[in-house]
Amino acid sequence: MKITNNKVYLGIGAVSIGLLGAVSLWARPPFTDAQVAEQQQELLDVVNKGRDLWHGSNPAMSTNGLACGNCHPDAAASNPNTFPKFVPQLAKVAPMREMINWCIVHPQAGKELDPTGSDMVALEAYAVYLYRGQKIEPGYTLPLPPDPVKSGVGYPHTPSGIGVDK
Amino acid sequence: MSDANELTRRRFLGLAGQAGLTTFAARAIGVNLGLVEVLSAETKNGVQPFSFAIITDSHLFSIDNHKFDKALADAVAQVNALTPAVDLVVYTGDIAQNGREDQLVKGKKILSQLKAPLKVIPGEHDWYLDMGKAWNGLFGKETWSFDHKGVHFIGLNSILVKDFWTGAGLTPLQRMSTMEMLESPIAGPWGVRDAQLEFLRKDVKKLSASQAVVIFTHSPLWDYYPRWNFQTEDAPQIREILSKFDHVTSLHGHVHQTIYNKFANISSAGALSTSWPWPYPPVKLDYPGSQMNQSDPANVKDGMGTQSVTFDASGGGKVAYEPFANSLTPFLQDGVKV
């Protein structure tokens, strides 16, 4: 096939425009400061919801009064940075949300959550938030405590009551 | 497997892990090797060898037939089965989960099955619904001391916080809920406060330096992890008052785990709960071997249990952890000198 000069020029032009567009997109700040602040607040709202759920705000998660926080204060030893990993109770490699559901069904004798539902996302968000900055250690099996004093829990929160025994 | 068989199996695992099969076999025929050893020791300071047990942190709910009810009953059976029998049992706080009278009554009923006399101090879960009214009605004064076979025993209420509820307009239930959350920053640090410090000063004033002393508090008398109130705010004053003694043994609940520390003239040991184990907080320990093994969440009793303390004729004590399942490290298996 014969390639004419015109087609070469057109091709170079198209590539140049494409590159220019890509560079423009790359250079443009993705979000304004206000947008970033808004998105961060959305995250913190979900973290706060997760903190309440962690301490018993959804009665369906427990029939014996126990909540995640009984055994995992400050999400300690929940190890979100080690998942997915082999979970002996499940006999398979599983994400954290399946381990959360195992805890809800067994130690808490409650009803498991929709793995893709907003409550599960909030519980994960809370645990991950308290482990922020920690090294990702897939498969690690020993407890890896968060350092909430160093990482800071500093977001506003009002106690909502704990467990079903109110 | 029947409950009785399950208890026997766990008891076997716990004892085998705690002291090795030789000690277990010796106990099975009624001989405690440690006691045989100390009974031959020379008696000093009027201390006669004896042992007592510690049960703690049962966190009973109001729900009927809750699994924690059985855990406390198992603890009572375990202590009753100790050979030789203990002279007394001390409960170091948190019988109840939500401070309700029915929870405290249930705990008292289960604990009434103990063969040995019982002394009790409160925890924060027992206290903040009615500020100790029900607890005091059932268990008497929360501050006490007495002498037994040459050892001076002291019990203090270490979970007193400054008033955070009146100004905030919180109801008793909200106050209790705030105190229930281990990591809540709202309530602030616990302490024994001025009246009990004065009690302690007067109580030890006439005792000699060589007197063997055991002090019980719900929270530890050192800054283990203040964020979870693994501390007592006025512990420095307590330690100063007790500094006149050659040696003091401090025993506490609250932490739901094995933990040992030594500072100045005080040896300190934490107690296994009967309800659930807590993870170790992110702090560097002087005695990291005193951490028990990681508990298995699939084993409903792993990381829980009771403990017995044996005093020998020299006034020295030894804590033997009595886990429901095998969770002891080598540091803990032959007992911890306190």
Domain check: are A13 and A45 in the same one? no
DSSP-assigned letters across all residues of A70-117? HH-GGGTT--GGG-SEEETTTTEEE-HHHHHHHHHHTTT--PPPPTTS
Rounded CA separation A89/B132 (Å): 41
Q: Is B62 on the interface with A (CB under 8 A)?
A: yes
Domain check: are A6 and A60 in the same one? no
Domain check: are A80 and A6 in the same one? no
To the nearest whole Å, the CA of A79 is away from the closest chain B CA by: 11
Domain span including residue A52: 33-151
Domain check: are A8 and A42 in the same one? no
Q: Read off the pLDDT of residues B2-41 as tens digits, 9 standing for 90 and up.
A: 333 333 333 333 433 333 333 333 333 333 333 333 333 3
Distance of CA B274 to the CA centre of its chain: 11
- CB within 8 A of B252, min separation 6: which ones? B92, B158, B216, B217, B218, B219, B220, B221, B268, B269, B270, B271
Domain check: are A46 and A112 in the same one? yes
Per-residue confidence (pLDDT) for residue A157, from 0 to 100? 47
Per-residue confidence (pLDDT) for residue A159, from 0 to 100? 44
Rounded CA separation B218/A49 (Å): 31
Closest CA to B218 of B110, B120, B306: B120
Per-residue confidence (pLDDT) for residue B58, from 0 to 100? 98
| CB pair distance less than 8 Å for A65 and B100 | no
Angle between helices B67-80 and B3-28 (to 10 degrees): 20
| CB pair distance less than 8 Å for B61 and A163 | yes
Domain check: are A7 and A40 in the same one? no
Selected residue with higher pLDDT from A30 and A28: A30
- CB within 8 A of B291, min separation 6: which ones? B257, B258, B259, B280, B285, B329
- Give the nearest chain A residue to B185 (CA atoms): A153
Q: Which of B180, B256, B295 to mutate to test the interface with A (most CBs of A within 10 A)?
A: B180
pLDDT band at A144 (very low <50, low <70, confident <90, very high): low
Domain check: are A55 and A121 in the same one? yes
Rounded CA separation B268/B259 (Å): 8
Answer whether residue A157 is part of any domain. no
- Give the nearest chain B residue to A71 (CA atoms): B278
CA angle A153, A61, B70 (to 5 degrees): 100
Q: Is B168 on the interface with A (CB under 8 A)?
A: no
Rounded CA separation A48/A124 (Å): 11
How large is the average pLDDT for residues A96-100?
98
Per-residue confidence (pLDDT) for residue B8, from 0 to 100? 38
| CB pair distance less than 8 Å for A64 and B67 | yes
Domain check: are A22 and A46 in the same one? no
Q: Is B97 on the interface with A (CB under 8 A)?
A: yes
Rounded CA separation A18/A41 (Å): 36
Q: Has residue A164 got a pLDDT over 50?
A: no
Domain check: are A16 and A46 in the same one? no
User: Residue B97 is encoded by which pair of tokens?
Assistant: 């989960």
Minimal Cβ distance to A159: which of B178, B227, B228: B178
Domain check: are A99 and A134 in the same one? yes
Domain check: are A25 and A106 in the same one? no
Selected residue with higher pLDDT from A3 and B277: B277
Answer whether residue A58 is part of any domain. yes
| CB pair distance less than 8 Å for B98 and A76 | no
Answer whether residue A79 is part of any domain. yes
Rounded CA separation A147/A74 (Å): 9
| CB pair distance less than 8 Å for B97 and A163 | yes
Q: Is B70 on the interface with A (CB under 8 A)?
A: no
Residues of chain B with pLDDT under 50: 1-43
> Quick check: A61 and A104 in contact, CB under 8 A?
yes
Q: Among A58-67, A103-112, B312-321, name the one with the lowest average pLDDT.
A: B312-321
Across chain B, how many H-helices and E-strands are there? 10, 12
Closest CA to B255 of A76, A132, A106: A76
Q: Which of A54, A64, A70 to mutate to test the interface with B (most CBs of B within 10 A)?
A: A70
Per-residue confidence (pLDDT) for residue A3, from 0 to 100? 57
Please give the mean pLDDT across all residues of chain A.
Answer: 80
Rounded CA separation B96/A165 (Å): 11
Q: Delimit the domains of chain B by residue range.
A: 3-337
Q: What is the CATH number of the domain that holds A77?
A: 1.10.760.10
pLDDT band at A12 (very low <50, low <70, confident <90, very high): low
Closest CA to B89 of B63, B68, B71, B110: B110
The sign one gets for the Cα dihedral B34, B35, B41, B42 is: positive
Chain A / chain B CB contacts < 8 angstroms: 85
Domain check: are A12 and A52 in the same one? no
Answer whether residue A158 is part of any domain. no
Q: What is the ipTM of this complex?
A: 0.83
Q: How many CA atoms lie within 13 A of B189 on its CB side?
A: 17
Q: State if pTM tops 0.90.
A: no
Under CATH, which architecture does the B3-337 domain have? 4-Layer Sandwich (3.60)
The total domain count for chain A is 2
Selected residue with higher pLDDT from B256 and A8: B256
Answer whether residue A164 is part of any domain. no
Per-residue confidence (pLDDT) for residue A106, from 0 to 100? 96
Answer whether residue A159 is part of any domain. no
